[in-house]
Amino acid sequence: MTLTVGTSAAPAGDAILRRQRIRESAARTYARSFPIVPVRANGMTVEGADGRRYLDCLSGAGTLALGHNHPVVLQAIRRTLDSGAPLHLLDLATAEKDDFTTALFESLPESFAAKARIHFCGPAGTDAVEAALKLMQTATGRRGALAFTGAYHGMTAGALAVTGNTAVKAPLPSAAEVTRLPYPYSYRCPFGIGGERGADLAAAYTERLLDDPSGGVLPAAAMILEPVQGEGGVVPAPDGWLREMRRITAERGIPLIVDEVQTGVGRTGRMWAVEHSGIEPDAMVLSKAIGGSLPLAVIVYREEYDGWRPGAHTGTFRGNTLAMAAGAATLRHIAANGLVARAEAVGARIAARLDGARDRLPVIGDVRGRGLMLGVELVDPAGEPDSCGARPADPGLAVRVREACLARGLIVELGGRHDAVLRLLPPLTITDEQADAVLERLCEAVEFAMRETPSA
């Protein structure tokens, strides 16, 4: 690919960054981690105004299932623009919405889709979480929710209430009664045991707490969980534990909401992450990749819960025609080209290579994930191990590794309980050569950061 950025691009980029720092809010996030000005992007490659190229393992926080500007997505957008179709119609019926809904339902587990309804939400996943919670509160007449340690569901009031990160919750009043339950995290097990036994204890604790008349937990409107926690540190839920959560909620008449905002559309090596365990939830929250890189969010749920009144959850931007066209094209392209199996195979190879590097890179405490949703937890190898053998997290090292990655042309972001987990979310279209380049650059960055002495 020929770079066409002129010599004045770098100074212009510096000026853009300077104006961003002056004009934008203190809440900006990714802009702090990656002080670059992207000017064009293709597939997994992003070009900055300074002429540098980067391999993007952030992919819009998992939004870009096919990478940047995939031809299938661009063709769908151009076709829709050229057709003269209205781009904004609130929630009116359109051919593009009908086609998207058909493509989405065809991709869902057959038994779930057969008796499902869809609701189009505001364009962000957090609004879909709000909608799912409101739907179940309406259906059950209850108010409280069951949520998990390490959870991330969004930044609006209800979604934030079921999110686990205390740093973002602390300044704000609680929006709902939420019971926090232990999420299985084998490397840093909440029970100090790890493995299958830790997951079994987490399930047993949940069941006994809900059945304890003095446990302080009122009957809940819903349980909400992520099949793989993303912001929580790329922590996959064991399939057996997920089946136990489905059993426990079903037996007690508690609707189960599964948040597939980041795990959906082939990311974990299945089209939808619930397919690993075979569970059928009562509702699924979907966003990010379903819009083919454009803003779109929906909930899909069992039809018996469709009891809210017209206008119970509205929003001006529920009819993003371009996103529906791009999303339908993305879903069909992934299914037709075996990209789900590809994600599983390439993800397993990357994880195995990183796990194999732990002997020479002892700061890698754990490598985990599913498909192309991977996490590398960085630790202090000289620190005292806990009862599961995990060393203390090293967030300072993680920041240095992220900076060293960027210097080597690799974009990775951090997450996890202590912001010490390198998160890898490359597009499903990643080539073998790109996967090798990611591994090489990442390992070089870790080696460099290990040697670097933090400034006093």
Domain at 98, CATH number: 3.40.640.10
320 with 253, same domain? yes
Strands laid side by side in the 53-56 sheet: 38-42, 45-48, 53-56, 410-411
Q: What is the pLDDT of residue 168?
A: 77
Q: Of 306, 337, 368, which residue constitutes the final position of a domain?
A: 337
Residues 162 and 106 grouped into a single domain: yes
Examine the domain organization and report whether 197 and 131 are in the same domain.
yes
Choose the weakest-confidence range: 7-11, 129-133, 425-429.
7-11
Tell me the per-residue pLDDT of 296-341, one tens digit each, with 9 for 90 and over. 999 999 999 999 999 999 999 997 999 999 999 999 999 999 999 9
Q: How buried is 149 (Cβ within 10 angstroms: 0-12 exposed, 13-18 middle, 19+ buried)? A: middle
Lowest mean pLDDT among 3-17, 112-126, 361-375: 3-17
Tokens of 307: 């009891």
Beta strands in 212-260 (DSSP E): 222-225, 228-229, 235-236, 256-259
Task: Give the residue among 125, 126, 151 at the shortest CA–CA distance from 417.
Answer: 151
Q: What is the pLDDT of residue 173?
A: 66
Look at residue 247 and tell me whether its pLDDT is greater than 80. yes
Distance between CA atoms of residues 272 and 284, nearest Å: 10
Same domain for 289 and 346: no
Q: Are residues 405 and 294 in the same domain?
A: no
Instruction: Of 152, 201, 244, give the one whose Cα is nearest residue 388.
Output: 201
Predicted pLDDT at 331: 98
> 88-146, pLDDT tens digit by residue?
999 999 999 999 999 999 999 999 999 999 999 999 999 999 999 999 999 999 999 99
Per the prediction, the chain carries an average pLDDT of 94
Q: What is the pLDDT of residues 182-211, one digit of tens each?
A: 999 999 999 999 999 999 999 999 999 999
Does the pTM exceed 0.85?
yes
My answer on whether 203 and 135 are in the same domain is yes
Same domain? 261 vs 387: no
Burial class (CB in 10 A: 0-12, 13-18, 19+), 231: buried
Residues 228 and 211 occupy one common structural domain: yes
189 class by beta-carbon count within 10 Å (0-12 exposed, 13-18 middle, 19+ buried): buried
Q: What domain range includes position 402?
A: 12-70+339-452
**Pairwise CA distance, residues 113 & 55, whole Å:** 36
Q: Distance between CA 377 and CA 398 in Å, rounded?
A: 8
Phi, psi of 423 (to 5 degrees): -105, 130
Residues 203 and 115 in one domain: yes
Q: Could you tell me if 229 and 351 lie in one domain?
A: no
Instruction: Give the total number of structural domains in the chain.
Output: 2
- Tell which of 337, 371, 393 closes a domain: 337
With respect to residue 79, please indicate whether it lies within any of the assigned structural domains. Answer: no
> Is 6 part of any domain?
no
Angle between the 95-107 and 321-336 helix axes, to the nearest 10 degrees?
30
Which domain CATH number covers 21? Answer: 3.90.1150.10
275 located within any domain: yes
Same domain, 321 and 413: no
